[in-house]
Structure 1
Amino acid sequence: MKKPRIFYGYWILAACFFITACGVGCSYLSFSFFVTPLQAAMGWSRGEIMAAFTIFLMCMGTSGTLAGRMVDRYGARKVIPVGAFVITIGLAVLSRMDSLWQYYIIYAVIGISSAAIGIVTLSCVVSHWFSKRRGMAIGIMSMGVGASGVIFAPLIAVILLPNLGWSHTYLALAAIFGAVAIPLSLFVIKNKPADLGLFPDGMEAHDTVSIAAASAAAAEGSSLKTALATPAFWLIASSVILTHAHAGISQSVVPHLGDLGFPAGIAASTISITSITSTSSMFFFGWLCDRIPVKFACVIGLGAMALGILILINVEPESPVWMVWLYAVIFGFGMGSWMPTMSMLTSTSFGLASYGAIFGMMTLFQNLGGAGGPLLAGYLFDVMNTYHWAFIIILGLVLLAVPLVMLVRRPTPRPKTVLLK
């Protein structure tokens, strides 16, 4: 077979980038922009509206393992288009809902379907297409998360909602998402290089043995059941829960800085700076994972995150603005490390045979930590009227994740038992 001028894996990577950007932008990121319009139009409280976001997150988290299992069994090419189609319909139906129970059910469906087009399924695809450059590829794909903020935040807040209203904005998001994600998932996504007679990273035939050998190598690894019985799995899972308590920082930093007397514009700018920094650092950490042991790259990211939190803890009402921005840069740099390092830590520890199911379990722990951090911060603020001690506890949790990651060892495969007659 004649080698294409451009390795098809790069088309796969581009498709995964845009599906990630549109998926995050139209469902996860867009949610907060509808809170005030829905409150005014429907008369719902903010607590009632935010409950839909909790439902969305929990449904997406608990469905991650199922989505991973389906990808392992049927291939991403059959799973991703279904999720993309259902999300498109869900966003369109949101434009017609008129009661709170409908709102909750639709977001539950969107959450479940988001698992089919999320980081589990897309990183599984990318991992099969790239081997030597897998870390860099995962990093580029992950940049779609940050790109969603750059693209969709101004699109929704400045253009769509002011001109169309909440109902037609949901329709517009459905049209945008469907126009991008459905064609890409149907016509560009391919499960493995062997499906097209190619090799990972665009290698030539003389660089490896055969397509069959490459496919067999990709199929090696632990099953979910086997992985669950290893210390490595629970060390990684525990570190994921502890690390994602940082969501308590992300969701509280704007009101915290407001309480300290910083202008709303300065407080809001930390979100933009964090998003931009984390986007660029995703590529960096992907590149780094290809050059040093993955757990060392992960520790660097955790260290940066901890340093950022420490700076924030020491920000006082009279502190200069550059100190706030320094927190945002360093914290965002550390945040960007998660997707590349955890994806690589999972694949290097357990292989690709059941990567979807195993990494799906990791996203469940991610959502547990992500839900617990804001709850902790909110509770302690209500009790103490300050976020100070919540931030200190979250700093401790992030630091506790460091030795857990360092203790991870790749499980030793069990020798196969041979029965002799």
Structure 2
Amino acid sequence: MSAVDTAEGPAVHLDSARGWVTACGAAIVVMAGFGSIYSFTAFANDMAEEFDTGLGPISIVFGITVFLYFGSALVSGRLYDRFGIVPLLIVGGALFVGGLVATSQVTVLWHGYVLYGIGLGFGGGLFNAPLFALTATWFDKHRAMAQGLVATGSGLGTMIYVPFAQRLLAEYGWRVGMRWLAVIAAAILVFGLLVIRQPPRVHVGSPRRHLSLVVRTATFWQMGTSGIFFTIAVIGTIGLIIPFSIDDGVAELAAGWLVFVVGLSSIVGRLALTSLARPLGSIRLLKIAFGGLPVAYAIWFITTRVDAPGTKYVLLVVFASVLGVSYGGFVALLGDVTAYLFGLANIGAVVGIFFFFSGTGALIGPPLLGFTHDASGGAGVPILMVGVIAFAGVLVLLPLTRHPLALPTYIGPGGMPSPTPPRTAAPPRPLAPVRSPGTAPVPAAARSVQRPPLTANATASSSASAAIPRARPLHDALMVAMSRPRSAALRDAPPEVFWPVADETISPNGQS
């Protein structure tokens, strides 16, 4: 991504009011995206009856859609890094709204695979992952909270849209219901275009080289694999929780309220866990959030063995609450953990690849649960199976490192680099890494300020950044992440990150 010199340095836009407005706009757009897609669970039974199929074939529509919604981030992340968010909102929004309208007209089920999948899946995916990457570049101190706010949009969509879709279904049928959702989505996307803004562009070193180094690390594949297990379980559940509950003897309206509980508790999980990210660390909380999934599925499996309707529904509400908190917390923390472990260089592409992993799990989950349900004649076997899958994901994620990757291209989230200095000004040369700040004198000629290594629960970064002069744009020049020795003692240690300070004789316009 090329740098653009601006009078307003990154220190000005980070954690600003403009950033919070953008995060709120992103949350509302995310709400429309997830809510419209997840409303499919309210339409599933009626669609299955009209097309004379079981839950398996119908669930393929949902699986393809969510796969493309997450998986298209493999493309949209790179497009975002190059073009920004506005073109993706326009093109993706048009496909999204068009997909809803076109699906409402289908007369053959496989047409829904194409129209609903490409329209809502690929179209929504063009702006979904980039909105999370965009938010990460607006914040430093409050990055976890801002990511949680955006992720809250998916919880709001689940909480509001599914009961609303049930009302539309009861009043008008699923076809007219989809058209109403298209009108609402169009209005929200226009609103998003008005309030969402791109932050000042900054130079982030060698993004392509950084991405190639990131994908070669074990940490990257560890997070990607756990993401696949996570979405197999969660997306499969959200897509089929209503028909599964109805099959288990729960009334249709009461089954719809379970999705409302999932959405509400996911909001609680997002806000609660992200608010604890600074004192406890996002990585630790990410593992805790994932650990709640096997507990949730154990409760859900117990409900299939309970005959008393009142007790069964209470247990289902507990299951939906635990599932929502785990789901919400994991999604909200994922963006902050990604920025912390892998840095900000080419963050759109890195986030996009992780969304692709999630999409792969989403493609597997709903059909796997749907066809297993049809083959076994009940919900018990698929619930037990998805609980085992969730437990396997926990085992994969548990050894995740707590330190940023020691990559030479790492641009840490403890601060943002300034626009690239003018070509006429020679870039300052950073000092060699120093083990502890203050233990060795810093030569005056180097004119660099060292900040302490980042940690998951560090609070010193904000005070260190305050020590850097903010009056001159070049004082927040490009950070340089230095390579660490790969000895056994230092293999997992975070890299030292430097903020070189430009020579005071060089003015912002490059003149001495």
Question: Cα 1:242–1:50, aligned 2, differ >3 Å: closer, same or farther?
Answer: closer
Give the match for residue 149 of structure 1.
Answer: 158
1:184 to 175, 180, 192: 192
How far apart are 1:71 and its partner, in Å? Answer: 0.2
Give the match for residue 73 of structure 2.
Answer: 64
1:294 to 262, 282, 285: 282
Q: Give the conservation status (yes or no) of the 8 Å contact 2:163–2:260.
A: no
Q: Report 1:364-383 matches (<5 A).
A: 364-377=356-369, 382=375
How far apart are 1:178 and its partner, in Å? Answer: 1.0
User: What SS does the aligned partner of 2:408 have?
Assistant: coil
Q: Render the CA deviation track for 1:115-169: whole Å, top value 9, x for unaligned.
A: 1121x111111111111101101111111111113332233221x3344444433
* 1:311 lines up with 2:331 in the alignment: no
Q: Give the conservation status (yes or no) of the 8 Å contact 2:289–2:330.
A: yes
Q: Give the conservation status (yes or no) of the 8 Å contact 2:152–2:267.
A: yes
Q: Report 1:213-228 matches (<5 A).
A: 215-216=202-203, 223-228=210-215
2:123 to 113, 129, 145: 113
Give the match for residue 176 of structure 2.
Answer: 168
CA distance in 1, matches of 2:109, 2:386: 33
Whichever structure has more helix as a proportion of its residues is: 1
Question: Cα 1:156–1:339, aligned 2, differ >3 Å: closer, same or farther?
Answer: same
CA distance in 2, matches of 1:101, 1:378: 17
Give the match for residue 399 of structure 1.
Answer: 394
Q: Give the conservation status (yes or no) of the 8 Å contact 1:242–1:397.
A: yes
Q: Report 1:321-332 matches (<5 A).
A: 321=312, 322-332=314-324
Could you tell me which amino acid in structure 2 is paired with residue 68 of structure 1? G
Identify the range of structure 1 (252-261 vs 265-274) with the bigger mean alpha-carbon deviation. 252-261
How far apart are 1:19 and its partner, in Å? Answer: 0.6
Q: Give the conservation status (yes or no) of the 8 Å contact 1:69–1:356.
A: yes
Q: Give the conservation status (yes or no) of the 8 Å contact 1:278–1:336.
A: yes
User: What SS does the aligned partner of 1:336 have?
Assistant: helix
Give the match for residue 39 of structure 2.
Answer: 30
Q: Render the CA deviation track for 1:40-86: whole Å, top value 9, x for unaligned.
A: 55656654443322322233333111000000111112222211122
Q: Render the CA deviation track for 1:305-346: whole Å, top value 9, x for unaligned.
A: 333233334443157344443333223211111212211111
How far apart are 1:16 and its partner, in Å? Answer: 0.6
Could you tell me which amino acid in structure 2 is paired with residue 287 of structure 1? S
CA distance in 2, matches of 1:281, 1:218: 35
Identify the range of structure 1 (144-153 vs 91-100) with the bigger mean alpha-carbon deviation. 91-100
1:237 to 224, 235, 241: 224
2:270 to 267, 279, 282: 282
User: What SS does the aligned partner of 1:129 have?
Assistant: coil
Question: Cα 1:136–1:33, aligned 2, differ >3 Å: closer, same or farther?
Answer: same
Give the match for residue 87 of structure 1.
Answer: 96
Identify the range of structure 1 (227-236 vs 97-106) with the bigger mean alpha-carbon deviation. 97-106
Identify the range of structure 1 (327-336 vs 64-73) with the bigger mean alpha-carbon deviation. 327-336
CA distance in 2, matches of 1:103, 1:32: 14
- TM-score of the pair, normalised by structure 1: 0.81
Question: Cα 1:259–1:41, aligned 2, differ >3 Å: closer, same or farther?
Answer: closer
Give the match for residue 340 of structure 1.
Answer: 332
| Structure 1: runs of 5 or more not aligned | 196-214
| Structure 2: runs of 5 or more not aligned | 1-6, 410-481, 484-512
Q: Give the conservation status (yes or no) of the 8 Å contact 2:265–2:325.
A: yes
Q: Give the conservation status (yes or no) of the 8 Å contact 1:376–1:390.
A: no
How far apart are 1:254 and its partner, in Å? Answer: 5.4
How far apart are 1:262 and its partner, in Å? Answer: 5.9
CA distance in 2, matches of 1:178, 1:250: 24
Q: Give the conservation status (yes or no) of the 8 Å contact 1:31–1:53.
A: yes
Q: Give the conservation status (yes or no) of the 8 Å contact 2:158–2:259.
A: no
* 1:272 lines up with 2:260 in the alignment: yes
Q: Give the conservation status (yes or no) of the 8 Å contact 1:232–1:408.
A: no
Whose Rg is larger?
2
CA distance in 1, matches of 2:376, 2:176: 41
CA distance in 1, matches of 2:166, 2:263: 17
- TM-score of the pair, normalised by structure 2: 0.67
CA distance in 1, matches of 2:377, 2:178: 39
Identify the range of structure 1 (266-275 vs 346-355) with the bigger mean alpha-carbon deviation. 266-275
CA distance in 2, matches of 1:182, 1:140: 20
Count of matched residue pairs: 391
Question: Cα 1:17–1:251, aligned 2, differ >3 Å: closer, same or farther?
Answer: closer
- Percent identity, aligned pairs only, is 21
* 1:411 lines up with 2:408 in the alignment: no
Identify the range of structure 1 (231-240 vs 379-388) with the bigger mean alpha-carbon deviation. 379-388
Question: Cα 1:312–1:171, aligned 2, differ >3 Å: closer, same or farther?
Answer: closer
Identify the range of structure 1 (51-60 vs 62-71) with the bigger mean alpha-carbon deviation. 51-60
